[in-house]
Amino acid sequence: MQLKYLRKQAEDYYAPLAVNLKNLPRHALSAGVGYDTDLGFRISAGYKNRYLNENGHQFIADLNLSLKKSHFIMEYVLPYNNPLKDRLSFFSGITYEDTTNIDSQKIEVGARLSNRFYGQLVLSEQLKFVAEHFRNSNSAPFQTQFLLVPGIAISNIRAENKGMYLDGYKYMLNLNAAHRSIASNVSFIQTRFNLKMAYSTFWGGRIIAKTDLGATAVDVFTDLPSSYRFYAGGDNSVRGYDYKSIGERNESGDVIGGRYLVTGSLEYEQKIIDAWSIAAFIDAGDAFTSTMNVKFGAGLGVRWYSIVGPVRIDIAVPSEDIGDVHFHFSLSTAL
């Protein structure tokens, strides 16, 4: 968009403005590579058709590949009610996960209605059909479960540039459910809430706090698919522990996830030179079914605010074995 002030046509204290609008290209392609200690090397690719037709319909496709977890999602988007704030989308996706304790292949198809209110406050309602083939330990047989899952989500994000830092907050509250009497093999109700806040100080410091809470009411926990179980541990959870290594264990000692999730993190970051800073942190949490046994992780880190995003390098130790040093590396968004 270009604005031009037409000074020669001014009358009294008023002058017209000439507005020149230009459409974005119809087709948009994206590609990326990355690495973190949770999932290893990652490759991503995306495609977006912004103008499928004169009604403002769009098509979006995203592919993310890694050795441990990959997914491919397609979405058809229509403007709805207020085209600037509301949209209706139909989506389908495939997710594959193969970690130490999880082996899962999931297909989902559904529809989502999203309404944006004040600022970035978004209310989303969706209905999706899920088919998941999984096992939660190497000693367990594979299961296949079918679910018809209605859900609702509320999310918000507010960010403000503060030099090399990005301050603000973001949160999301989800509620999902399924019942055996309605095209599902499992009955459950699940809610999850996550929050992250980051605020800078006038002396070049930054305080970051986050929490992730979840609870599930389910008739038979062993029938609950992997994607609806709670786990903790990893770069963005409890550092000092491996990715999804915290959770309820079975008789063989394998982590099988939990019905409940409680994690929290507090971090202080201090700028040292230019785009570099150092950090100290403590994380805590557990994923459990009956009794919570909080795990703690603490450590030090280095941050580099590169042109492609913050690079985080952390060294953390777990409370269960302070001699077991864990290294965490990630390239992520600023907030």
pLDDT in tens, the chain (335 residues): 566 655 666 666 666 777 777 778 999 999 988 899 999 999 999 999 999 999 999 999 999 999 999 999 999 999 998 888 999 999 999 999 999 889 999 999 999 999 999 888 999 999 999 999 999 888 789 999 999 999 999 999 998 887 777 899 999 999 999 999 999 999 999 999 999 999 999 898 999 999 999 999 999 999 999 999 999 999 999 999 999 999 999 988 899 999 999 999 999 999 999 899 999 999 999 999 999 999 999 999 999 998 888 899 999 999 999 889 999 998 865 55
CATH number reported for the structural domain that contains residue 141 in this entry: 2.40.160.50
**Bridge partners for 174 per DSSP:** 153, 192
**Within-domain flag for 36:** no
**Within-domain flag for 175:** yes
Domain that holds residue 175: 102-331
Burial of 299 (0-12, 13-18, 19+ CB in 10 A): buried
Cα separation, 57 vs 251, whole angstroms: 52
Please name the helix (run of DSSP H) or strand (run of DSSP E) that holds residue 253, with its range, or none. Answer: none
**Within-domain flag for 147:** yes
Contacts 24+ apart (CB under 8 A), 55-64: 55/79, 56/83
**Within-domain flag for 290:** yes
Cα separation, 286 vs 275, whole angstroms: 34
**Within-domain flag for 29:** no
E runs forming strands in 67-204: 69-79, 86-98, 103-116, 122-135, 143-162, 165-178, 188-200
Residue 49 contacts residue 75 (beta carbons within 8 Å): no
Please name the helix (run of DSSP H) or strand (run of DSSP E) that holds residue 274, with its range, or none. Answer: none
**Is residue 226 classed as helix, strand or coil in its secondary structure?**
helix
Number of domains into which the chain is organized:
1
**Within-domain flag for 242:** yes
**Within-domain flag for 39:** no
Cα separation, 148 vs 110, whole angstroms: 9
**Within-domain flag for 67:** no
